[in-house]
Structure 1
Amino acid sequence: MATILEVARAAKVSPATISRVLLRPELVAEKTRLRVQEVIDALGYKPNPTAASLRTTRTGKIVVSVPNIANPFFSNIVRGIEECAQKNGYSVLLGDTCGDRAREERYASMLGSREADGLIFLGHRLPDAVRDTVSRDGPKAPIVNACEFSPSLGVSSVHIDNQLAAKTAMEALYDLGHRNIGVITGYLESPLSRDRLKGAMDAIAQKSDARITVLSDNFSIESGYRLTLELADSVQPTAVFCFSDEMAIGALAALRALKLRCPEDVSVMGFDDIDIARYVYPALTTTRQPMHSIGTLAAELLLDIIAQKQSELRFVTLPHKLVVRRSVGPVPLRGKDGASALNGSFAPEV
């Protein structure tokens, strides 16, 4: 009896194409499918039922790769993924990549080796290990991105409108009188960082009196601390807009080290609204992302793809909210007694 390799050689296609003709014929072009079927009939090829079973049996596991599991932003998303997966009978294999490309590839390769049925990645790169799968299966590839948004990735995603969120935040700072603003971004190779920076710059595009200084690094507390010291030494901004709450927490620490008051001397704005944001001093003004919902919807999208309930790419944009607390205030207007004239229209959340 003919083997799958002999059939593939005779039909001048790969063994994978033979398998698709037998298991998922809708994915194969009609001309190719008919030619392959003719060869199968002519050679009398019969697939091994045991091997076919192994190929089609689901593992009941999904892989989730995370750039930094220590970051509360990511851990809240993972919690949403985990809860949705468990409700649907799936287990989660969690991979902390630490932003390392080699680690990203190792976790993504678990999909090709059939150690998992699907992949959710929270970083900005589509791993090379799954590019062929995405190219071959398109929107039916069991791969979803959460947090970032780039149509060029070719996979479904869940995110907020980062450009609009940053634009809203920057407009709030400008409306409070801030004209000298430091912006601390994540690495600009990330679409998320680029979108936020574009939104921030759009907000002041027509404001000739605005002075913006941009510094970039990773999204860590340490980066926020170091870059705020650099801003204070160089341009003395009246406000610092950080692209993550962890960066903003670092910025607050840097201001304390410099004996500068927040917000009386320098305002600080974060992004994400992680749990600790309301408990730092002063409580952090920030943009709230629905982290748990991002995880839940990403998992739902992936499970729909695995169950073959979805045949088109879906880009889900969730709402965000500017949460006003105590770390942002107007540029101080000093009266005769030296007190600040506060702008009551920017009322902090209690």
Structure 2
Amino acid sequence: MRQVTMGDVAKKCKLSVATVSRVYTDPEKVSPKNREKVYKAIQELNYQPNALARNLRKLQTNSILVIIPNIMNTFFSYILCAIQKVAFNSGYKVLLGDTDSSPEMEAKYLYYLQQKLVDGVILLYPRSNPEEIQKIAGEYPVVIVGQQAPESSIPFVINSNFLSSQTATEHMIKLGHRRIAHFSGRLSQPVSRERQKGFVFAMEANGLDVDKSLVCEGDFYFDSGHALALKLLSSAQPPSALVAASDEMAIGAIKAARKLGVRVPEDFAIIGFDDIKMASICEPALTTMAQPKEELARLSTEMLLSYIKGEPPHQNCVVLNDQLIIRESCGWALLNND
């Protein structure tokens, strides 16, 4: 069967094609009577508008690109799903760009925005240097999540990494630990440096020496947490506690402790960061700093859509607070079982 066209709709309701088109693009400029005629004709003819052609005329794609370092990290996949819900409810599709933590791949995905293949980009925990991001974000709709933007004019949403790491460390200190290790992500990334600084600040503010051999660089993932914990727990002076910069590294450390016969939390207390799903179901359940993932996703998406529409967002720079979730791995219950 021949596909029904906008001309067929116009003929059916005895109006111009321009008027029918305006019902889709600017309905307030069409009288209620004529709008009703068009809607009735569309229903009777089962007309399906060509979204691609309409978007090309408007120079819009009604799609946004979310660039993430690694889809295998459940923290990023959770935020991606939350972004998709907000975008879909606003009539936008979500495309995914997985960079595998490569700045070069990140730049290639940002090129899609320059070519107007998408209307805007949400950049999660970017790996590119700030100057490269600024070249793109200064001219096109970009919102950064997890890292402060290189220029104040670029919208960003972050969590309080320094303060949260300080809070986690002070929790361990209150539980009586003095020899505390810290596993960071790659220190080339600002989020890793901030979490490490928060750890060091808490130790020094409480009059404790920071043993550099216990401050280790990982990569946020399970294998690095497992390898680093095996090394430290096998040393002559193992730590009694660990503040890890991600839940995956913390869970890796739990497995290493189990392999060595070290009890968690009795011999080795552990706190993670992120509150991924696995944190609540691993054994023992992981104490962690929970990031407000849904808020990060909602605010960043709303900012980007406002930017795309040419409307100034209500907030351009947002810092969200994390929450300490106390479970079994830190040993709090052992000291407060009364």
The two structures have a TM-score, normalised by structure 1, of: 0.75
Query: Unmatched 5+ residue regions in structure 2?
Result: 1-54
String of CA shifts for 1:211-255, please: whole Å, max 9, x gaps: 442101211000000011122133400001110001111000000
**1:230 paired residue number:** 231
**1:98 paired residue number:** 100
Secondary structure, counterpart of 2:181 in structure 1: strand
Q: For 1:75-86, what aligned pairs fall within 5 Å after superposition?
A: 75-86=77-88
1-side partners of 2:316 and 2:241: how far apart?
Answer: 37
**1:337 paired residue number:** none
Contact 1:109 1:130 in 2 (8 A): no
Query: Unmatched 5+ residue regions in structure 1?
Result: 1-52, 331-340
User: Is it true that 1:343 corresponds to 2:335 in the alignment?
Assistant: yes
2-side partners of 1:153 and 1:231: how far apart?
Answer: 41
**1:132 paired residue number:** 135
Structure-2 change in CA distance of 1:150 and 1:59 (3 Å): closer
Name which of structure 1's ranges 290-299 and 311-320 shifts more when overlaid on structure 2: 311-320
Contact 2:65 2:95 in 1 (8 A): yes
Matched residue type, 1:233: S
What's the CA shift for 1:198? 1.2
Structure-2 change in CA distance of 1:181 and 1:296 (3 Å): same
Contact 1:108 1:129 in 2 (8 A): no
Contact 2:247 2:272 in 1 (8 A): yes
2-side partners of 1:89 and 1:64: how far apart?
Answer: 16
Matched residue type, 1:125: R
Matched residue type, 2:283: Y
2-side partners of 1:281 and 1:132: how far apart?
Answer: 46
**1:190 paired residue number:** 189
Structure 1 outlier segments of 4+, above 6 Å = none
String of CA shifts for 1:241-285, please: whole Å, max 9, x gaps: 110001111000000111100001100110001111111000000
String of CA shifts for 1:24-61, please: whole Å, max 9, x gaps: xxxxxxxxxxxxxxxxxxxxxxxxxxxxx958511111
**2:59 paired residue number:** 57
Secondary structure, counterpart of 1:308 in structure 2: coil
**2:36 paired residue number:** none
Contact 2:265 2:330 in 1 (8 A): yes
What's the CA shift for 1:312? 9.0
What's the CA shift for 1:315? 1.3
Secondary structure, counterpart of 1:309 in structure 2: coil
**1:160 paired residue number:** 159
What's the CA shift for 1:96? 1.0
String of CA shifts for 1:291-334, please: whole Å, max 9, x gaps: 1221111111100000111179711112211000000126xxxx
Q: For 1:138-149, what aligned pairs fall within 5 Å after superposition?
A: 141-149=140-148
Secondary structure, counterpart of 1:255 in structure 2: helix
**2:331 paired residue number:** 329
**2:215 paired residue number:** 214
Alignment RMSD, CA only?
2.3
Matched residue type, 2:100: C
2-side partners of 1:129 and 1:324: how far apart?
Answer: 40
Structure-2 change in CA distance of 1:317 and 1:253 (3 Å): same
Matched residue type, 1:215: C
1-side partners of 2:64 and 2:233: how far apart?
Answer: 45
User: Is it true that 1:203 corresponds to 2:202 in the alignment?
Assistant: yes
Secondary structure, counterpart of 1:204 in structure 2: helix
Q: For 1:160-179, what aligned pairs fall within 5 Å after superposition?
A: 160-179=159-178
Matched residue type, 2:200: M
Give the aligned length: 280
2-side partners of 1:130 and 1:118: how far apart?
Answer: 14
2-side partners of 1:146 and 1:170: how far apart?
Answer: 24
**2:284 paired residue number:** 282
What's the CA shift for 1:286? 0.3
Contact 1:126 1:153 in 2 (8 A): no
Name which of structure 1's ranges 302-311 and 238-247 shifts more when overlaid on structure 2: 302-311
Secondary structure, counterpart of 2:329 in structure 1: coil
2-side partners of 1:130 and 1:206: how far apart?
Answer: 35
**1:71 paired residue number:** 73
Structure-2 change in CA distance of 1:247 and 1:153 (3 Å): farther
1-side partners of 2:266 and 2:120: how far apart?
Answer: 50
Contact 2:244 2:273 in 1 (8 A): yes
Structure-2 change in CA distance of 1:125 and 1:100 (3 Å): closer
String of CA shifts for 1:153-179, please: whole Å, max 9, x gaps: 852111211111111110000111111
2-side partners of 1:154 and 1:232: how far apart?
Answer: 46
1-side partners of 2:152 and 2:105: how far apart?
Answer: 19
Contact 1:76 1:291 in 2 (8 A): yes
**2:111 paired residue number:** 109
Secondary structure, counterpart of 1:270 in structure 2: strand
**1:294 paired residue number:** 296
Structure-2 change in CA distance of 1:218 and 1:313 (3 Å): same
* Identical residues among aligned pairs (%): 38
